[in-house]
Structure 1
Amino acid sequence: MPLTEMDTAAPDVRTARARAARIAVPAARHAEFPGPAGRDPLALLAGQDADRVPELLPLRYGRMAASPLAYFHGAALPAAADLATTPRTGFPVQACGDAQLANFGLFAAQGRRLVFDFADFDETLRAPWEWDVKRLAASFEVTSRETGHPPAQRRRTVVAAVESYRLAMHDFARRTSLEIFFAPADARTLRVVAAHHLGPARSGVPGRDTGGRRFTEIRDGQLRLATRPPVVVPAGHLAGDGDPATLADRLGAVLSRYRHTLGPARRALLDRYRLADVARTVPGPGGAGTRCWVALLARTGTGDPLFLQLKEAGPSVLQEYAGVAAAGGPGRRVVAGQRLIQAAGDVFLGWAHDADVDGRPRDFHVRRLRGGRLTGDGTTMTPDVLRSHARLCGWTLARAHARTGDALAIAAYLGSGPAFAEAVREFAVACADQNERDHAALRQAIRLGHVTAASGS
């Protein structure tokens, strides 16, 4: 990402720009949420369906209809449309694009070291930093409501997330670029979150590399991908993506294209494995209906497995509203964005451009399926644990923005008090209220037969 004149200007110049932004866009204006006039979130969601797998669309809407929180998880595009109408300060960053609680997770990095980081990058794009902060704050308000936390506790949680972002940005504004790049999360807060995830009642310990084994079974003495429709369907059982007899070969060609996006050392590592099996899977509500595959590769001679996810990439939901188009195709956009904002990298991360799976050119991003990744299920957290999670998410978001934007200018804009956090809390409450109305509208459309929904895990 090339530096701009704004990034390289003298500190006093960047601070002056931030102060000018505070005058043009006072902190209190970030409480604004768009009114109902002209909003049609169901039409936006339907517009995404045109290029998705038709047989999976009922599952998408069935999942989103389950609860207001489930709807929020799948409504990244309506959220982007709402955020686009809110005030902008003029300091872009590499945005996550869907910076909600569920898209952060606990991982085991090299050496079994626990790290907390982003877990989803489908919508990443260069965009206003405020959009990520507001989406994050709203996710904690919606989650707190789902869990039944009282209003005072919800307020404290949302403010904790935004204040953590503000304080972290002030800290990063005083650091060098290298210090920001390698900054570790607060150990005490990380321990609180890890204790919740890894207590005796929890399953899935980061560090146990189960990876894609949850999709597998033993057949004829060999590890193979299971048949668990509609969530896991082997390639040979599908008829919706061209000839099922050749689908595995076409996905192998996608992997060949992907291989060329890896460096020499990673290509050499990948070449130790051969493709053994491939199956279609269904990602979360937002991605349900897109083409997503799990590839099981086995090491020649030993049979040791490697699981890769091949996930279809399209334009970011932010693209229309941010006025930015990423070069090199959607798959490369996702990979480049992930490398910019995620601290714990993936050696198998890559993409395939213009890959032919069903007779049409499509883009995919590819990553390793690692075992033990624990994402943020806030519905099982007490108010105190959820608040610790909020602080950790706010800090992690600030680090990503400081790595890719002007930390000094953002910190100067945020100032030394809680005015911005209080305004964003009001935004989050209004957003959660609208989210409940949008969820009710979806359920009504399903009851009236305007939208087809199906249950499924």
Structure 2
Amino acid sequence: MHPGGDGQRICMTMLELGVERPDPMKLLEQQEAQRLPWLLPVRHSRMAENPFAFFRGNAVVMASDLARRPHSGLMVQLCGDAHLLNFGFYGSPERQLLFDINDFDETHPGPFEWDVQRLAASLVLAARSLGLSDKQQGKICRRGVRTYAETMAQFAAMPMLPMWVARLPLERLIDQRASANLRCHLEGVITSALRRDSRQAVRKLCESDGSGGLRFRHQPPLIWRFAHLPEHWMEGLQWQEWVAAVKASYISSLAPALQHLLSQFRLVDNAFKAVGVGSVGTRCGISLFVGEHPNDILVLQVKQANASVLAPYVDQPAPEHQGQRVVQGQRLLQTASDSFLGWCTNPAGDHLYGRSFRDWKGSVDVAQLDADGLKDYGKLCAWTLAKAHARSGDRRAIAAHIGDPKAYGRRLLEPAVEHADLAVHDHALLLRGIASGRISTSEIF
């Protein structure tokens, strides 16, 4: 194991692969060309925090690395960015708290092991961020991959309908057999998630408009009200005209019942909001809707959807509208999905998708876990990933290809460590670029 990400070892590994690795900083620069310029320093600052944070924002780089490795050819609908922190809690349409994959910006058909390797590498990096030993890193990674393999074998033996609706109930998430550390942390995350709704978002993000109504609090660069955007960002339109066009496009993608529901609300304000790490700089907006009753408040999020970072490397069909790609991928991978999922196009031609902004959403803070807690959390994510792949791919063929789960865990450890080492190496490149002044940063992130 090489927790330090030794540059010489990385070069040897890439030579052994018989390929010349593209410059990761150029890949990131190309990805940022169409992003909001005032948020790029924020993105760089978030990615600079540590190698794990860099890894969260470097899906484009790892996609390039994965494409240079042989794979099984067994295709599924990939999450496309299946690291630990892209799993979490949310509310189902039936008002149940669910745990599932919760980020689909990079979803695309592709070989199943690409998701598994990204999850495995994130387990190694998370373990390193906690200061765990090489032995502990290996154990955590192997156990996560083994759980994926065991779960896929279980799903391969199940009839289609029970497999299709499989989910992790809360009592299993807080299983007494799991580590006390994870149980205690999950209880806190669940309590917090159940308070995260549109009303909570309004309390945190809004202020009075001076006329008895509400508006978003203008806090650039992280929250930027559309009313304060330069005119050239609106293609010559007033911001209200721009938002009305996006709203009409979005509503047309929803089921008739949801169209009727939204017709009972009035859109009163819109703002750009920086979110996550990898998404920072994309056109991510939040919209405030109010109804006739004082408690009728709804906050929706509309995010720009660019082509998946995996698209150049797989010859598999996907919808031409990138928002539709995200929505359809999410619905295929999740056991139950947000009712407000829909896609749209803005007047500039950008593809977007809409969803609930805060609807019982919650995520685990890896920094609060110990070795046992991280191992058990990795198992939850691995079970969830296997369920998603079983829904979208040939679960029996995948299980047969994997073979013995223990051996599969051992087999994927080495590439997981290599990808983690590459993230450490690339993070150092980012820090050097920041130190030289070539890459911008922000004190607000």
Find the counterpart in structure 2 of residue 58 from structure 1.
Answer: 41
Q: SS of the residue aligned with 1:117?
A: strand
**Cα shift at 1:202:** 8.4
Find the counterpart in structure 2 of residue 255 from structure 1.
Answer: 247
Distance 2:187 2:193 in 1: 6
Distance 1:86 1:32 in 2: 12
**Following superposition of structure 1 onto structure 2, how do residues 23-422 of structure 1 map, counting pairs within 5 Å?**
37-110=20-93, 112-185=95-168, 189-192=172-175, 193=182, 195-199=184-188, 204-206=192-194, 208-210=196-198, 212-213=201-202, 214-220=204-210, 221-239=212-230, 241-242=233-234, 246-302=238-294, 304-353=296-345, 355-356=346-347, 360-422=348-410
Q: Deviations over 1:383-433 (max 9, x none)?
A: 111111101110100011000100000001111242221121111111111
**Cα shift at 1:255:** 1.1
Distance 1:244 1:156 in 2: 57
CA contact (8 A) 1:236 1:244 kept: no
CA contact (8 A) 1:32 1:86 kept: no
Distance 2:412 2:391 in 1: 23
Distance 2:140 2:18 in 1: 25
- Alpha carbons of 1:423 and 1:314: their partners in 2 closer, same or farther (altered >3 Å)? same
**Cα shift at 1:212:** 3.1
TM-score by length of 2: 0.89
Q: SS of the residue aligned with 1:204?
A: helix
Distance 1:332 1:456 in 2: 33
Q: SS of the residue aligned with 1:170?
A: helix
CA contact (8 A) 1:122 1:334 kept: yes
Distance 1:326 1:111 in 2: 29
- The alignment covers a number of residue pairs equal to 422
Find the counterpart in structure 1 of residue 420 from structure 2.
Answer: 432
- Alpha carbons of 1:134 and 1:53: their partners in 2 closer, same or farther (altered >3 Å)? same
Distance 1:451 1:301 in 2: 48
- Alpha carbons of 1:399 and 1:33: their partners in 2 closer, same or farther (altered >3 Å)? farther
Q: Deviations over 1:175-209 (max 9, x none)?
A: 1111111112266651155641333x987232652
Q: Deviations over 1:234-277 (max 9, x none)?
A: 11112162379712320221011010111111111111111011
Taking only aligned residues, the RMSD between alpha carbons, in angstroms, comes to 2.3
**Cα shift at 1:111:** 5.6
Distance 1:376 1:395 in 2: 16
- Alpha carbons of 1:339 and 1:70: their partners in 2 closer, same or farther (altered >3 Å)? same
- Alpha carbons of 1:35 and 1:202: their partners in 2 closer, same or farther (altered >3 Å)? farther
Distance 2:170 2:15 in 1: 35
**Cα shift at 1:453:** 1.8
Distance 1:33 1:394 in 2: 29
AA of the residue aligned to 1:217 = E
Q: Deviations over 1:35-56 (max 9, x none)?
A: 7833311000000121111121
AA of the residue aligned to 1:415 = G
AA of the residue aligned to 1:235 = F
Find the counterpart in structure 2 of residue 448 from structure 1.
Answer: 436
Distance 1:377 1:392 in 2: 14
Distance 1:84 1:189 in 2: 36
Q: Structure 1 regions of 5+ residues with no counterpart?
A: 1-30
- Deviant stretches of 4+, over 4 Å: 31-36, 186-189
- Alpha carbons of 1:331 and 1:108: their partners in 2 closer, same or farther (altered >3 Å)? closer
**Cα shift at 1:112:** 4.9
Q: SS of the residue aligned with 1:400?
A: helix
- Alpha carbons of 1:451 and 1:208: their partners in 2 closer, same or farther (altered >3 Å)? closer
AA of the residue aligned to 1:223 = L
Q: SS of the residue aligned with 2:69?
A: coil
Q: Structure 2 regions of 5+ residues with no counterpart?
A: 1-13, 176-181
AA of the residue aligned to 2:274 = V
Q: SS of the residue aligned with 1:295?
A: strand
Find the counterpart in structure 1 of residue 6 from structure 2.
Answer: none
**Cα shift at 1:370:** 2.5
Question: What percentage of aligned pairs have identical amino acids?
Answer: 37
AA of the residue aligned to 1:236 = A
TM-score by length of 1: 0.87
Distance 1:159 1:33 in 2: 23
- Indicate the larger mover: 370-379 or 263-272: 370-379
Find the counterpart in structure 1 of residue 9 from structure 2.
Answer: none
**Cα shift at 1:365:** 0.4
**Cα shift at 1:225:** 1.1
CA contact (8 A) 1:241 1:247 kept: no
Q: SS of the residue aligned with 2:304?
A: strand
Q: Deviations over 1:82-121 (max 9, x none)?
A: 1111121111000000000110002243565332101100
- Indicate the larger mover: 290-299 or 189-198: 189-198
- Alpha carbons of 1:231 and 1:34: their partners in 2 closer, same or farther (altered >3 Å)? farther
